[in-house]
Amino acid sequence: MVRHGEPEDALELTEVPRPAPGPGQLLVRVLAAAANFPDVLLCRGTYQIRAPLPFTLGIELCGQVAEVGAGVTEFSPGDRVIGDSLLPHGAFAEYAVMEATTAMPAPAGLDDAEAAPFYVTYQTGWLGLHRRARLAAGETLLVHAAAGGVGSGAVQLGKAAGARVIGVVGGQEKAAVARELGADVVVDRRSEDFVAVVKEVTGGRGADVVYDPVGGDAYRGSTKCIAFEGRIVVVGFASGDIPSAVLNHALVKNYSILGLHWGLYQRLDPGGVRDCHAELTRLVAAGAIRPLISERLPLGDVPYGLRRLADGVTTGRIVFLP
Ligand SMILES: NC(=O)c1ccc[n+]([C@@H]2O[C@H](COP(=O)([O-])OP(=O)(O)OC[C@H]3O[C@@H](n4cnc5c(N)ncnc54)[C@H](OP(=O)(O)O)[C@@H]3O)[C@@H](O)[C@H]2O)c1
Give CA–CA dist 117/126, Å, rounded.
13
pLDDT at residue 49, rounded to an integer: 81
Residue from 56, 43, 48, 35 nearest 117 by CA: 35
Q: Is the peptide bond before 291 cis (omega within 30 degrees of 0)?
A: no
Q: What is the pLDDT of residues 38-79, one digit of tens each?
A: 999 999 999 888 889 999 999 999 999 999 999 999 999 999
Q: What is the pLDDT of residues 276-321, one digit of tens each?
A: 999 999 999 999 999 999 999 999 999 999 999 999 999 999 999 9
**Residue 66 · residue 95 · CB < 8 Å:** yes
Q: What is the pLDDT of residues 137-152, one digit of tens each?
A: 999 999 999 999 999 9
Q: How far is the CA of 145 from the centre of ligand 1 (A)?
A: 7
pLDDT at residue 239, rounded to an integer: 95
What's the half-sphere exposure (Cβ side, CA atoms, 13 Å) at 78? Answer: 1
Per-residue confidence band for 107, with pLDDT thresholds at 50, 70 and 90: very high
Give CA–CA dist 197/148, Å, rounded.
20
Measured from the Cα of 47, ligand 1's closest atom is: 47
- 159, pLDDT greater than 90: yes
Q: What is the pLDDT of residues 223-240, one digit of tens each?
A: 999 999 999 999 999 999
pTM: 0.96
pLDDT at residue 50, rounded to an integer: 82
Angle of CA points 146, 304, 36, to nearest 5°: 40
> Mean of the pLDDT values across residues 79-108?
97
**Residue 274 · residue 121 · CB < 8 Å:** no
- 215, pLDDT greater than 90: yes
Give CA–CA dist 271/292, Å, rounded.
27
Buried b (16+ CB within 10 A) or exposed e, 216-240: bebbebbbebbbeebbbbbbbbbbe
pLDDT at residue 48, rounded to an integer: 81
> Mean of the pLDDT values across residues 183-195?
98
> Mean of the pLDDT values across residues 97-111?
96
Portion of the chain with pLDDT greater than 70, in percent? 100
Angle of CA points 71, 91, 61, to nearest 5°: 80
Alpha helices in 161-256 (DSSP H): 172-181, 194-201, 216-224, 247-253
Measured from the Cα of 216, ligand 1's closest atom is: 28
Looking at residue 241, what DSSP letter applies?
-
CB atoms within 10 A of CB 154: 34
Using CA positions, which residue lies closest to atom 40 of ligand 1?
169
Ligand 1 site residues, Cβ closer than 6 angstroms: 36-38, 120, 124, 145, 147-151, 169-170, 174, 213-214, 235-240, 260-262, 309, 312, 314
pLDDT at residue 178, rounded to an integer: 98
Using CA positions, which residue lies closest to atom 8 of ligand 1?
236
